[in-house]
Amino acid sequence: MTIRLLLADDQPLVRAGLRLVTADAEDLEVVGEAGTGTEAVELAERTAPDVVLMDIRMPQLDGIEATRRIRERTASKVLMLTTFDEDENVYAALRAGAAGFLVKDMVLDDILAAIRVVAAGDALLAPAVTRRLIAEFAARTPGAARNRELAAAITEREREVLTLIGRGLSNAEIAERLFISVATAKSHVARLLTKLDARDRVQLVIEAYECGLV
């Protein structure tokens, strides 16, 4: 299956570099390029890409708000393009619905792997820096009241699963840890997404941190 990409960055040289990075990958196809956040939203609605590579700092409409609108209006996944000095913006982007982020100087294989992971429907949670970001900024929000709300909304088993999701475990790893089948683990995750009105697994990780489970 070919993964359709939309490149959104206000710097033409960055977009050209991303085109070169993906050109030799037979399973990737660039379907559009945007130089502003507004253009990125419009192109996402028109071209229906599988994955949008979105710079956080965009003119007209910043990358965070553009991500929020794309996630509200389309089925496209969004990978944020950032640098390590934009930690708080990265956290806001995850809250807006981004599936993860890429650092602009990442090596080729890591960029391609990230695109494929997100296109497959998984969140890009493995890098330790992502967990550090979520932990750092979720710690700024009061968790006690939210924890009480959570306790009333989910079962004890679902709470265990949410804790393990927050620690970055996959469904298979959760199943092994809790001595349940992978199918059962998937069912618990699906119920958590519904009960907590979460867009995706990233949102569940944030929920786990904000409630103090991790």
Cβ neighbours around 173 below 10 Å, total: 14
Backbone angles phi, psi at 200, to 5 degrees: -160, -170
Kindly state whether residues 96 and 168 are assigned to the same domain: no
Asked whether residue 203 is domain-assigned, the answer is yes
- 39-42 — which CB contacts under 8 Å span 24+ positions? 39/8, 40/6, 40/8, 40/66, 40/70, 41/66, 41/69, 41/70, 41/73
Q: What tens digit of pLDDT does each residue of 77-121 get?
A: 999 887 755 556 767 887 888 888 777 777 778 888 888 888 877
Residues 119 and 174 occupy one common structural domain: no
64 shares a domain with 9 = yes
Structural domains in the chain (count): 2
Same domain, 17 and 101: yes
What's the pTM?
Answer: 0.69
More confident residue, 103 or 175: 175
Give the CATH number for residue 175: 1.10.10.10
